[in-house]
Amino acid sequence: MERHVDKFLNYLKLEKDASVHTVINYSVDLKELAEFLEDKDIHSVDVLDIRKFLVHLRQKEFKKVTIARKMACLRSFFKFLCREGHLKTNPMIGLVGPKLEKKLPIFLNEDDVVKLLEAPDETDLSGLRDKAMLETMYSTGIRVSELVGLNIEDIDFIGGVVRVYGKGKKERLAPIGDKALRIIKNYLQKRNAVTGTSNRALFLNKDKRRLTDRSVRNVVDKYIAVASIRNDISPHSLRHSFATHLLNRGADLRSVQELLGHANLSTTTIYTHLSTEKLKNVYDQTHPRA
């Protein structure tokens, strides 16, 4: 099975241009399947084997969302083997994953966003960098992985847009506000004066290296505490806040989809459930018995 897994992972990297995180997760999932199947030949794996594996995952008390992700991995893997002619029948056909609860994204109200954005100290380089990061995330709605991947040349200060490389290395242009651009410009000027580094990455750590996703999480956690606002906020919550506030102020769903870089409109529709304030205002203004 090992050689088939290697072929599949190479296919993900080279042809599907999958993210590093996806490749790592799928590698772990398939290794777990291989250990469960022991020395069983991949050509003799059937639907009963997969059902037993799913029971095994439930017994290990994996969360439903984790099991659903592992099933998605297996579907892709066995579909690949069938398409390449390594298998005649797909053992995943007919199998249904666990029903997932639809959780609404956590977002900040506009007042709390202001508190968070104003929390960093702009008088030193690290504080100015942190403010530039927070302003950029809220102004553009980009993902953390997209944020840490930004280079200086990706910022168009004249056009007011940012070149972003999203999931699957898809490139898009994201509008960015004047306030965020001003802070980024201040940060770069101070960074050049203090460090003189030639690194083209937009956001650097104290060692003059590109920031990581974990570093961004630590920054957000720090200023959530400084601003004394809810402690269940993650960096992704700024993306959720971005989308929710746009819809609350009248943006159409299709435009928000483009701004978020969602491939499907259905992914964006979850934010319509969050725009209750706008709906209540419409109700109060129009319903004769409100």
Residue 94 lies in a domain: no
| Confidence class for position 48, pLDDT limits 50, 70, 90 | very high
Do both 139 and 254 map to the same domain?
Answer: yes
Do both 133 and 171 map to the same domain?
Answer: yes
Among positive and negative, which fits the CA dihedral 124, 127, 130, 135? negative
Last residue of a domain, one of 67, 83, 99: 83
Q: Which two tokens stand for residue 150?
A: 């930004």
Catalytic residue, chosen from 79, 172, 190, 236, is 236
Catalytic residue, chosen from 4, 70, 131, 143, is 143
Last residue of a domain, one of 83, 102, 132: 83
| Confidence class for position 274, pLDDT limits 50, 70, 90 | low
pLDDT of residue 173: 93
**Euclidean distance between CA atoms 234 and 224, whole angstroms:** 9
Mean pLDDT along residues 51-70 = 91
Do both 118 and 215 map to the same domain?
Answer: yes
How does pLDDT run across 167-217, given as a tens digit for each residue?
767 889 999 999 999 999 999 999 999 998 889 999 999 999 999 999 999
Inter-residue contact 134 to 204 (CB < 8 Å): no
Catalytic residue, chosen from 79, 115, 262, 278, is 262
Active site residue 214: no
| Confidence class for position 275, pLDDT limits 50, 70, 90 | low
| Confidence class for position 278, pLDDT limits 50, 70, 90 | low
Residue with more model confidence, 227 or 267: 227
Active site residue 262: yes
Catalytic residue, chosen from 167, 172, 210, 278, is 167
Do both 47 and 187 map to the same domain?
Answer: no
Question: For position 56, which CATH number holds?
Answer: 1.10.150.130
Do both 40 and 129 map to the same domain?
Answer: no
Active site residue 4: no
Active site residue 222: no
Active site residue 249: no
CA atoms lying within 13 Å on the CB side of residue 62:
18
Residue 90 lies in a domain: no
Do both 147 and 66 map to the same domain?
Answer: no
Residues 6+ apart with CB under 8 A from 129: 187, 191, 203, 204
**Which domain, by its residues, includes 49?**
2-83
How does pLDDT run across 179-191, given as a tens digit for each residue?
999 999 999 999 9
Do both 140 and 249 map to the same domain?
Answer: yes
How does pLDDT run across 64-110, given as a tens digit for each residue?
889 999 999 999 999 999 999 989 899 998 888 777 766 777 889 99
Q: Provide the angle, in degrees to the nearest 10, between the axes of the packed helices 20-37 and 47-59.
A: 100
Catalytic residue, chosen from 131, 239, 240, 245, is 239
| Confidence class for position 279, pLDDT limits 50, 70, 90 | low
Question: Could you give the C-alpha distances from 74 to 53, 54, 99, 270, in angstroms and in order?
Answer: 11, 11, 17, 27
Do both 268 and 210 map to the same domain?
Answer: yes
Residue 96 lies in a domain: no
Active site residue 210: no
Among positive and negative, which fits the CA dihedral 76, 77, 82, 84? positive
